[in-house]
Amino acid sequence: MKILVCISHVPDTTSKINFTDGDSKFDTTGVQYVINPNDEFGLTRAMWFKEKQGASVDVVNVGGAETEPTLRKALAIGADTAIRVNAEAKDGYQVAKEIANVVKEGSYDLVIAGRESIDYNGGMVPGMVAEMIEANFVTNCISLELDGTNAKATREIDGGKETVSTTLPLVIAGQKGLVEESDLRIPNMRGIMMARKKPLTVVEPTGATVETTTVKFEKPAPKGAVTLVAPDNLDELVSLLHNEAKVI
């Protein structure tokens, strides 16, 4: 079985979010990049399939050379090979189109991505890829079992969860639950050394166009200071929530 895990290269959660070029671009100054957390749960699940059920695991990213350390980290965690589509990621459609091409070229059986990236939060690439390659698709996936070409997946729904049966080829948009946080792997020295020798292939993009364009970023208006209410004066809190905030 051939698994492809989509790896988004995103700023660490604690990064300061600033913009440059007339607020049209994300300011990368001093920003630490990581594997998108939702993708890391998927990668770890893919490693489980590789070790327990036999599978090859490749990782893919659409981005410039600056994303390669993130792909190397995925290799250090245990992926076999990495593919970087050499194009600046501009919108969900363009990225999906490039990934769909990689999936077709590589005849992957299972594609695992995160439910969304924590930077652009588009939440659309996995579903678009599935539709483009005419594969089955399950989103918000919190559990995935494979038996031959049959799959059983659980997805989070509003107020609960739903279990579905489906078949390969399959695209999964995963999140925490696919594996738990405690299952995530920190690359060890051996993994890091091995990752240096693993193939990282750069492929040229198909030249997919975009469907949406970012015009500008804005930061939320600075928040006012907190209004403190004394613990023995909760009538005031109730009154503020009713009269000032108008939420009760």
Partner 1 sequence: MTKQKNMSVLVYTESENGAFKKTALEVASYAKAVADQMGTTVTAVAVNANDVSELGQYGVNKVLKISDASLNNFNAKSYASAIAQAAKNEDAKVVIVSQSADSKYLAPILSVGLEAGYASNVVEAPSSTAPFTVKRTAFTNKAFNLTTIDTDVKIVGVSNNSFGLVETAGDAAAEDFSPSLPTSGVTVESVDKATDKVTIADAEIVVSAGRGLKGPENWGMVEELADVLGAATACSKPVSDLGWRPHSEHVGQTGKPVASNLYIAIGISGAIQHLAGINASKVKVVVNTDPEAPFFKAADYGVVGDAFEVVPQLIEKLKAFKAANA
Q: Which of residues 202 and 238 has its CB atom nearest to partner 1 in the complex? A: 238
**Tokens 């990752």 sit on residue:** 195
Q: Which of residues 14 and 32 has its CB atom nearest to partner 1 in the complex? A: 14
Strand 56-62 vs strand 150-157: parallel, antiparallel, or unpaired?
A: unpaired
Give min distance, CB of 243 to partner 1, in A.
11
Binding to partner 1 in span 222-241, by CB under 8 A: 223-224, 226-231, 234-235, 237-238, 240-241
Binder of partner 1 out of 54, 207, 215, 243 (CB under 8 A): 215
Measured CA to CA, the distance from residue 210 to residue 124 in angstroms comes to 13
Binding to partner 1 in span 88-117, by CB under 8 A: 91-93, 96
Q: Which of residues 107 and 209 has its CB atom nearest to partner 1 in the complex? A: 209
Q: Which two tokens stand for residue 44?
A: 């770890």
Size of the site for partner 1 (CB under 8 A): 80
Nearest to 39 by CA among 56, 17, 59, 15: 59
**Per CB under 8 A, 128 contacts partner 1:** yes
Give min distance, CB of 190 to partner 1, in A.
28
Q: Which of residues 189 and 215 has its CB atom nearest to partner 1 in the complex? A: 215
Give min distance, CB of 226 to partner 1, in A.
5
Query: Within a 10 A sphere around the Cβ of 122, how many other Cβ atoms?
Result: 16
Binder of partner 1 out of 49, 126, 144, 174 (CB under 8 A): 126
Measured CA to CA, the distance from residue 134 to residue 155 in angstroms comes to 20
Measured CA to CA, the distance from residue 135 to residue 171 in angstroms comes to 7
Q: Which two tokens stand for residue 221?
A: 């208006």
Measured CA to CA, the distance from residue 117 to residue 120 in angstroms comes to 6
Binder of partner 1 out of 29, 107, 121, 243 (CB under 8 A): 121
Q: Which of residues 40 and 82 has its CB atom nearest to partner 1 in the complex? A: 40
Measured CA to CA, the distance from residue 113 to residue 126 in angstroms comes to 6
Q: Which of residues 65 and 165 has its CB atom nearest to partner 1 in the complex? A: 165
Q: Which of residues 78 and 126 has its CB atom nearest to partner 1 in the complex? A: 126
What b/e string do you get for 17-51 counting C-beta neighbours within 10 Å, with b at 16 or more? eeeeeeeeebbeeeeebbbbbbbbbbbbbbbbbbe
Binding to partner 1 in span 33-92, by CB under 8 A: 37-38, 91-92
Give min distance, CB of 5 to partner 1, in A.
17
Q: Which two tokens stand for residue 239?
A: 């009154």
Binding to partner 1 in span 142-201, by CB under 8 A: 142, 152, 155-167, 175-177, 180-182
